[in-house]
Structure 1
Amino acid sequence: MQFDDQLRRYFGRTDIDAVPAEAIAAGVERMRVDLGLEKDRGRRFALWCLLFLMGDAPDLDIAFKDAADRDAARNFMDLAQGDPPLD
């Protein structure tokens, strides 16, 4: 999954700052539906990360059944927020 491709898919463009608020809400809703339907772990993780960056990711316990996936998501959260990951 390429970041620009995902922005284009869900928001119709790669410049997220140019997307109207109602289109953001609709794109985030489509992403949440796709996250719920996605079976591939890597694609689920990528969708969850994009949702996290958009401020609308579901809780880790809901999004990931596997503890390793939850740990990876916590590391991503730390990195995205500028905190060093915990070992």
Structure 2
Amino acid sequence: MNFDDLLQRYFATIDLSDHTPRAVAAGLERIHVDFGLEKEGAKRFALWCVLYMFDDAPALDVAFENETERDAARNFMDLMAMSDEGD
């Protein structure tokens, strides 16, 4: 899943700078629905990552069934934290 494609699919744009909070909330709600319905692990992980970037991701123990998936999510969280330190 390409990040720009996900933004386009859920928010109808790749530039969220002019979106209202209500429009962003609606896009996040659509992601949550698809996340709950998705069975493929890689797609679920991609959706969770987008939710995480918007500070709206479910807790790891709720989102992922096994420890390997939770470890991957923790690694993503660490990478995001490191990229924030560089700002």
TM over 0.5: yes
Sequence identity of aligned pairs in percent? 54
Cα shift at 1:18: 1.9
Gaps of 5+ in 1: none
Q: Deviations over 1:44-64 (max 9, x none)?
A: 000000000011000000000
Question: Counterpart of 1:34 in 2: which secondary structure?
Answer: helix
CA distance in 2, matches of 1:48, 1:72: 11
CA distance in 2, matches of 1:54, 1:17: 13
Size of the alignment, in residue pairs? 83
Task: Read off the aligned partner of 1:81 and give its amino acid letter.
Answer: A
Cα shift at 1:20: 1.3
- Relative to its length, the structure with more helix (as a share) is 2
* Displacement over 6 Å in runs of 4+: none
Please report the RMSD computed on the Cα atoms of aligned residues, expressed in angstroms: 1.0
Is 2:73 aligned against 1:77?
Answer: no
What TM-score comes out, normalization by structure 1 length? 0.92
Gaps of 5+ in 2: none
